[in-house]
Amino acid sequence: MGKNFIIEELAKGKQVEEILKKKNISSPYVSDLAQDIYVQLLEKDYALIEGLYERGELLYFVHKMITNNIFSVTSPYYRKYEDFRRRSDDLKE
């Protein structure tokens, strides 16, 4: 089973979106975060994704990716959305 197939199945099942819903993320960019997670998974090495999937660890890995993206100020998600939102709010004041 290939990496692209595995990620496609995750996307069809909206599993990243379900994890975000369960984590109760309150950002206006939740759907963007989900798409970013899929892109980040596609950028990972195929052996990593296939290995995680075969060991049943892929969803745990996705949970960690989401947590890191939300809470790390150096994450792609934070830099792209939250930092922009914060700076925009500063300009409004």
Residues 34-53: tens digit of each pLDDT: 999 999 999 999 999 999 99
**Whole-number Å distance between alpha carbons of 47 and 72:** 26
* Cβ contact 53:6 at 8 Å: yes
As given in the structure block, the two tokens for residue 27 are 């950002």
Q: Say what the pTM is.
A: 0.83
Contact 29, 82 (CB under 8 A): yes
Cβ(41)–Cβ(47) under 8 Å? Answer: no
Q: Per the structure block, which two tokens stand in for 11?
A: 């996307």
Q: What total number of domains does the chain contain? A: 1
pLDDT at 1: 76
* DSSP letters for 24-53: T---TTHHHHHHHHHHHHHHS-HHHHHHHH
Report d(CA 77, CA 67) in Å as an integer.
Answer: 11
Predicted local distance difference test score (pLDDT) of residue 51: 97
Domain containing 28 equals 3-92
Per-residue confidence (pLDDT) for residue 11, from 0 to 100: 96
Specify the pLDDT at position 37. 95
